[in-house]
Structure 1
Amino acid sequence: MDYGVREPARLGQTRIPDGRLLGWAEWGPADGTPVLLCPGAATSRWLGFGGGVVDSAGIRLISVDRPGLGASDPAPGRSLTSWVTDIRHLIQERALNAPSAVGFSQGAPFALALAANRLVNAVAVVSGSDELAHPRFAHSLTPQVKNMVDAVAADPYAAAASFAGFGSADTLWDLIITTSPEIDRAVYTDPVFQHSFRRAMDEAFSQGPAGYARDTALAMGRWPFDPAAVAVPVDLWYGQQDTSPAHSPDLGESLTRMIPTAARHLLPDAAGSLLWTHAEAVLRTLLGRAR
């Protein structure tokens, strides 16, 4: 089956004012409507989505490596706030006029941080990681996730060092395959998709595990913005078959209530891989909201 993964049309790096390079990949027409992709955990710019949609929809999809992953230089001590500063520079340097954003899985808080700071005009959160450290989830996390949240609350830098200890492409691939429902495994083990997924993971760890570990510490901590202050349209997409303990424990229900501009799409026959199984619906809804 075609899950919409394609080779990037363009690859590059952009230097920002502090001298660091941000790596990116693009699909779709170079003069298309810009959509920034914040990828999931432990992946890099190489794994896109919607390859059968972006050209016909006129979308310029730009996937950006977070600092320390793939082709982006590390930024020790980075935060969701510093991520916003990085992307503000990228938008200016690359003349990305009125972009929207997609945040997949662990990329969700990074996309919402852009929305909270009005850098994007609409956001699609897809199988997104929620604010797991928020008190509303105090009694609904799995023991493993709760231990990670507690570790970050106690000492985020020590927690990141601990996360680095099990951060590798092979370890996380095995974890994904063993904890995913059959509907997701069918996507992830498709030969074409698996090749792209594994390549993106290998590149993500090309500088070592520190970038992944810092991402995970940020995702397991409190967000430095109030979801209620997000003023741009937000669509939250979840599959009822999603079994990931690191996504949203209530599949976005409470987050939808917190964001005044949010709409939730709960798909009964989808799971965590819906970025690839429902790419056209995600992208065309996002375009409609942005306009």
Structure 2
Amino acid sequence: MNNFVTPPERQTTMQLKDSRKLAWSEWGPVDGVPVLFCTGAGMSGWLGFGTSYLPELGLRLIAIDRPGLGLSTPHPKKTLSSWADDTQEFIQAHNLDNVLAVGFSQGAPFAFTLAGCGLVKAIAIVSGQDELFHPSLKPLLHPDVARMVTAIEQDAVEFERQFAQIATADGLWQLIINMSAECDGLRPTFGDRHLYQSDLFAPAYQQALKEGFAQGANGYTRDLVNALSPWPVKLEDINVPVNLWYGALDTSTVHSPDFGATLALRLPNVSHIVDPQQGGSILWTRARDILAKLKSYVSLT
């Protein structure tokens, strides 16, 4: 279990050009190939993944607190596009080359936006949310998710205002647990819920959520609205390699409802892996495979 949870090795902030603060957590060698980790819903960058494999792979994992989460200053009009602008400034300020990215769960649209804006060489989408406005997906949505998508379509401002009044770190944690399978059917002692509620992992995940909500719920609810609205990047135009990783035993209703099948059809340069023995926690249980495959797209001189 120690392989799943390692506190950040470094935590840093920078001041953006508009005077906002951007914060992030890091693991791995400082001269490693940078991997930008787009975290899940409501999470700060405190909880990484695959950290024990970073030295051997020569990777530097960088988990940025999205604006309004963790220690990053809120953006008054945060969008997926403004996230790309902030990330571009971060990349340029640190002279990063051969940048890669991973998007987990709600982090998927943020990683896709980086790819669509030409800021990264390749991305991995792991247990990722899909663009739920796509006509092929609407019939597959859980009723609760469908209602949220419809409410945002009708009045995004009002949805965000109301949701911010009820969203909490503890509430999101309970939602994650309730949507997670108790077992995977093949290894009944190691389902998603078993991992998430384990003695080491649960406090780490909850710490990331606590930090994510430290400034209130507005950062999370703005991310939710942006993720459930039409995305600014056309997936069909993303030419960098995209690795889709899903576990067939994932029971989360907010991840891709067809385990990335529609995403794979829309992306020109895609690898689609659905592991029949994994669930939504595949980010941690197959971390080395995910990172090694992503690293393969970067040729070092």
Q: Show the counterpart of 1:128.
A: 128
- Give the Cα–Cα distance (whole angstroms) in 1 for the partners of residues 275 and 94 of structure 2: 35
SS at 2:255 equivalent:
coil
SS at 1:218 equivalent:
helix
Q: Which ranges of structure 1 fall in alignment gaps of 5 or more residues? A: none
Is 1:268 matched with 2:289?
no
SS at 1:61 equivalent:
strand
Deviates more, 1:166-175 or 1:79-88: 166-175
SS at 2:120 equivalent:
coil
Assess if the C-alpha contact under 8 Å between 1:3 and 1:193 holds in 2: no
Q: CA deviation at 1:3?
A: 4.1
SS at 2:68 equivalent:
coil
Alignment of 1:220-259 (within 5 A): 220-259=228-267
SS at 2:296 equivalent:
helix
Alignment of 1:194-213 (within 5 A): 194-213=202-221
Give, as a single letter, the amino acid of the residue that structure 2 aligns with 1:58.
G
SS at 1:165 equivalent:
helix
**TM-score, normalized by length of structure 2?**
0.95
Is 1:111 matched with 2:119?
no
Q: Which ranges of structure 2 fall in alignment gaps of 5 or more residues? A: 183-190
Q: Deviations over 1:117-169 (max 9, x none)?
A: 11000000000000012222121111110110011111211111122133111
Tell me the C-alpha RMSD between the 2 structures: 1.0
SS at 1:155 equivalent:
helix
Q: CA deviation at 1:255?
A: 0.6
Q: Show the counterpart of 2:155.
A: 155
- Give the Cα–Cα distance (whole angstroms) in 2 for the partners of residues 236 and 43 of structure 1: 21
Assess if the C-alpha contact under 8 Å between 1:21 and 1:73 holds in 2: yes
- Give the Cα–Cα distance (whole angstroms) in 1 for the partners of residues 62 and 179 of structure 2: 29
Give the paired residue count: 291
- Give the Cα–Cα distance (whole angstroms) in 2 for the partners of residues 4 and 28 of structure 1: 14
Q: Show the counterpart of 2:186.
A: none
Q: CA deviation at 1:107?
A: 0.2
Q: CA deviation at 1:221?
A: 0.6
